[in-house]
């Protein structure tokens, strides 16, 4: 018998598989096609203080081995998530869920994190620092150590649950940003968010996406994600949730060897709704193939 369990900031998961924010809604849509309680947990749709319609369409562009999206954090707002989405989720998901929080100012992050921290269903808070700082000239909070640390410190001051800072790969030195977050009190790191990309329509000679650029995700970015997780594992002592291009069980093992305690699956859910289910069911076979008796034993094993 193989042991697929891992522990994430004191909470035991049956397995390390977590659907990534923005690819799994609030869970109950997927609960109609399979029992989502088989998941380790999942990260729900990125939530902001106010409801957001998101960016103009088209928002999606297909790519070889991936996709570009510029959805623009469309969500019903934090009050609606607490009042309507979480009660609906509770009917079909009976484990702690990961709350994904975004903001356009420090005050927004603090407001949303303080609100969601009080929700019994929430086990961890994943803080997306890839949003543009409206008071800082539009530059993302996650592109420099100082601003990422500022967000971390502010949300830690108003929360009791583990805080995972979700980092952007669109930086020169991701390890220094992760270390700054750790020093500011982060309980873990989620990485990587999407890479910046674009496509151009040859017929009208214009960018495919109305926003011109968007987040590139899919299997093509796996080597970049692995490299960054490997680097951050050597820089910090806190757990890492690794993501970026994960679509197979072998990818999961590779990401854990690089240093991830748990693994998020993103774009693959949009291609194959059963992606996470298939990976979880395949874990024992792949573990036996590579003579792995316990997943916890291989975290960081490539170092």
166 with 198: CB under 8 angstroms? Answer: no
User: Which tokens in the block code for residue 264?
Assistant: 């998020």
Whether the predicted pLDDT of 136 surpasses 80: no
User: Which tokens in the block code for residue 94?
Assistant: 């009976």
Determine the pLDDT at residue 139.
Answer: 74
Determine the pLDDT at residue 135.
Answer: 78
Question: Kind of pairing, strands 122-128 and 163-166?
Answer: parallel
128 with 174: CB under 8 angstroms? Answer: no
Residues 5-35: tens digit of each pLDDT? 999 999 999 999 999 999 999 999 999 999 9
Rounded mean pLDDT of 221-227?
98
Whether the predicted pLDDT of 236 surpasses 90: yes
User: Which tokens in the block code for residue 112?
Assistant: 């949303």
Catalytic-labelled residue, pool 113, 131, 144, 181: 131
Whether the predicted pLDDT of 77 surpasses 80: yes
Q: Band of the pLDDT at 101, cuts 50, 70, 90?
A: very high
Question: CB-based contacts of 204: which residues, under 8 Å, 6+ apart?
Answer: none
41 with 10: CB under 8 angstroms? Answer: no
3-class DSSP assignment, residue 50: coil
In angstroms, what CA-CA distances link 134 with 106, 140, 191, 193, 284?
10, 9, 23, 20, 47
Rounded mean pLDDT of 130-148?
83
Determine the pLDDT at residue 47.
Answer: 97
In whole angstroms, what is the distance from residue 113 CA to residue 97 CA?
Answer: 14
Q: Which residues pair with 106 in a beta bridge?
A: none
Task: Verify whether residue 92 is a known catalytic residue.
Answer: no
Determine the pLDDT at residue 250.
Answer: 98
Determine the pLDDT at residue 133.
Answer: 73
Whether the predicted pLDDT of 138 surpasses 80: no
Main-chain phi, psi angles of 205, to 5 degrees: 65, 25
263 with 225: CB under 8 angstroms? Answer: no
Q: Is the peptide bond before 130 cis (omega within 30 degrees of 0)?
A: no
In whole angstroms, what is the distance from residue 94 CA to residue 302 CA?
Answer: 34
For the chain, the average pLDDT equals: 96
In whole angstroms, what is the distance from residue 226 CA to residue 271 CA?
Answer: 21
The residue length of the chain stands at: 303
- Domains annotated for the chain, with CATH where assigned, are 6-298 (3.20.20.70)
Residues 244-290: tens digit of each pLDDT? 999 999 999 999 999 999 999 999 999 999 999 999 999 999 999 99
Main-chain phi, psi angles of 131, to 5 degrees: -80, 150
Determine the pLDDT at residue 233.
Answer: 98
């Amino acid at each position: 018998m193989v042991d697929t369990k891992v522990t994430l900031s004191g909470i035991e998961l049956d397995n390390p598989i977590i659907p990534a924010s923005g690819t799994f809604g609030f869970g109950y849509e997927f609960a109609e096609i399979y029992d989502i309680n088989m998941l380790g947990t999942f990260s729900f749709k990125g939530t902001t203080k106010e409801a957001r319609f998101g960016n103009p369409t088209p928002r999606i562009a297909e790519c070889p081995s991936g996709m570009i999206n510029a959805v623009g954090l469309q969500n019903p707002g934090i009050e609606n998530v607490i009042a309507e989405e979480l009660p609906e989720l509770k009917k079909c998901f009976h484990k702690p869920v990961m709350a994904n929080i975004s903001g356009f100012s420090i005050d927004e992050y603090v407001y949303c994190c303080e609100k969601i921290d009080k929700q019994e269903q929430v086990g961890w808070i994943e803080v997306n620092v890839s949003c543009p700082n409206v008071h800082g000239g539009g530059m993302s909070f996650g592109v420099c150590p100082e601003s990422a640390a500022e967000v971390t410190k502010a949300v830690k001051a108003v929360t009791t649950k583990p805080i995972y800072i979700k980092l952007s790969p669109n930086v020169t030195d991701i390890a220094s940003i992760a270390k700054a977050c750790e020093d500011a009190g982060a309980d873990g790191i989620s990485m990587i968010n999407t890479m910046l990309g674009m496509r151009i329509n040859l017929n009208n000679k214009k960018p495919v996406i109305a926003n011109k650029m968007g987040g590139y995700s899919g299997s093509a970015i796996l080597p970049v994600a692995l490299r960054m997780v490997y680097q951050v594992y050597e820089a910090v002592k806190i757990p890492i949730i690794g993501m970026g291009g994960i679509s197979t069980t072998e990818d999961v093992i590779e990401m854990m060897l690089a240093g991830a305690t748990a693994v998020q699956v993103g774009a693959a859910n949009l291609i194959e709704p059963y992606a996470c289910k298939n990976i979880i069911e395949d874990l024992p076979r792949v573990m036996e193939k590579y003579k792995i008796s316990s997943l916890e034993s291989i975290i960081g094993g490539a170092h």
